[in-house]
Amino acid sequence: MIHTGHQLNTCTECNKSFSSLSYLKIHKIIHTRHKPFTCSECNKIFTRLSHLNFHKMIHTGHKPFLCSECNKSFTQLSHLKSHKMIHTGHKPFTCIECNKSFTQLSDLKRHKMIHTGHKPFTCTECNKSFTQLSSLKNHKMIHTGCKPFTCTECNKMFTRLSHLNFHKMIHTGHKPFTCTECNKSFTQLSHLKRHKMIHTGYKPFTCTECNKSFTQLSILKRHEVIHTGCKPYTCTECNKSFTQLSTQKIHQMIHRRV
């Protein structure tokens, strides 16, 4: 029997095909979960050496790809290319539900879960679900208490490097994103975008019960609790329930002080 290249390079587990046998071998690691490459700094493991090398840049701080517009640096060329779309405004991927556009297809796919409500990754500790595996991994640090990134200025620790980098702006005072309407500056582009809604009046998230609109989905979700009466956060000291985790934490601090 004569086999074609396509048949030879097809995964027997999921029938996905590849242009070469080497790519097929790399793909099969997904099914075996074999991760032979370990970071000597934090013991995180990877399926490919190239992934390990990119990861190591977190520890070394090496970012060889520089944006010519704003001097922001990146560990990978693909990340730089995606970033440049911020300056060009090019967003080729559009949601058919709400017409919101995105610079990357992966961002569009994640956004679509807002409309479908699909959250495939669930925490085994508290059953909270997430749209992304990375979000679940970050969430799990709440239960483990692991905070591997430390600020050299004040020793405050963080679960993610991006959170540490944003925190550092408190010490440097750097706010690179400025509103063209009122010149107010922000540390993050997402914060600037939300701020601009004050000037435009745009509130894309609407409550189905009372038609009240909000600038952020998180604010809408907090508002919806008014209608449902749901109070998912309970004080371990007195069993009083709250609609928000932040309120529950403040309440528990009162018990500790007493």
Q: What's the whole-number average pLDDT of the chain?
A: 83
* Predicted local confidence at residue 6, as pLDDT: 44
Confidence of residue 4 (pLDDT cuts 50, 70, 90): very low
Mean pLDDT on 228-249? 82
Q: Which pLDDT tens digit goes with each residue over 18-69?
A: 888 888 877 777 777 778 888 888 888 887 888 888 888 878 878 888 888 8
The whole-angstrom separation of Cα 209 and Cα 117 is 18
The full set of domain ranges for the chain reads: 205-257
Q: Please, which residues have CB within 8 angstroms of residue 2's CB and are 6 or more apart in sequence?
A: none
Q: How many CB atoms lie within 10 A of CB 159?
A: 19
Query: What number is the average pLDDT over the span 100-117?
Result: 85
Q: Which residue has the tokens 């539900």?
A: 97
CB burial string 103-128: b at 16+ within 10 A, e below: beeeebeebbeeeeeeeeeebeeeee
Whole-angstrom Cα distance, residue 71 to residue 63? 11
Range 168-186 average pLDDT: 87
Q: What's the confidence (pLDDT) of residue 158?
A: 86
Average pLDDT over residues 157-162: 83
Per-residue tokens: 249: 């934490």
What's the CATH code, domain 205-257? 3.30.160.60
Contact of 213 with 203, CB cutoff 8 Å: yes
Whether 118 and 129 have beta carbons less than 8 Å apart is answered as no
Q: What per-residue confidence (pLDDT) applies to 7?
A: 52
Task: Give the pTM.
Answer: 0.38
d(CA 135, CA 241): 26
